[in-house]
Amino acid sequence: MEGRIPLIGERFPEVTVTTTHGIKKLPDDYKGKWFILFSHPADFTPVCTTEFVAFQKRYDQFKELNTELIGLSIDQVFSHIKWTEWIRDNLKVEIKFPIIADDTGEVSKQLGFIHPGKGTNTVRAVFVVDPESTIRAILYYPQELGRNMDEFLRMIKGFQVADKEGVAIPANWPNNEIVGDEVIIPPASDVKTAEERPKQYDCFDWWLCHKKI
């Protein structure tokens, strides 16, 4: 992966980072768990502050899904500590997940968190990594747009259902406009399976079948 950012389906690159919870080795320290690594442009900025509060408000829900959160920006650890103290003292929310202090920018460069036209700050990037340390999703948001944390909860739930059941997850699940909270059966790859599908599942056609979980 040298010379380019990692891609979906690849192993998360090994990095040793300084965080507000001490030194951590990624992805090994989170093996056996899902984790969401998310970068933010800078400490003491308004949109980032709303994001950290939103993540913390849902932290227990993420933990129930065997998922940890890890923040990151190109700030020193002292800045992270002071900022989280400000959030605690002024917004009455204690940030309980670690924040990486990538003050050299090396981790951000390796993961593609610094984009042209956005200065030296990191964009709002998100990496979703599974318990086998495989990257399952990568999302990028511009600095001016805050993220939707409920979507990340939905993604984790969807990935876990897809992995367990061998199915696909429809749009807006579990509130899909066609199949509601049901899931999609992978399309048949041969004639015999295609003929059997409507006998086994509810189908609009042999290539669009669904079931409850």
Closest residue by Cα to residue 34 from 127, 102, 98, 111: 127
9: left (phi over 0), alpha (psi -120 to 50) or beta: left
Contact 96, 59 (CB under 8 A): yes
Tokens representing 184 are: 């999609």
3-state secondary structure of 12: coil
Query: Which residue type is seen at 210?
Result: H
Contact 79, 72 (CB under 8 A): no
Closest residue by Cα to residue 61 from 97, 14, 90: 97
Q: Is the link from the previous residue into 174 a cis peptide, with omega within 30 of 0?
A: yes
Residues serving a catalytic function are 48
- CA–CA separation, 6 and 141 (whole Å): 17
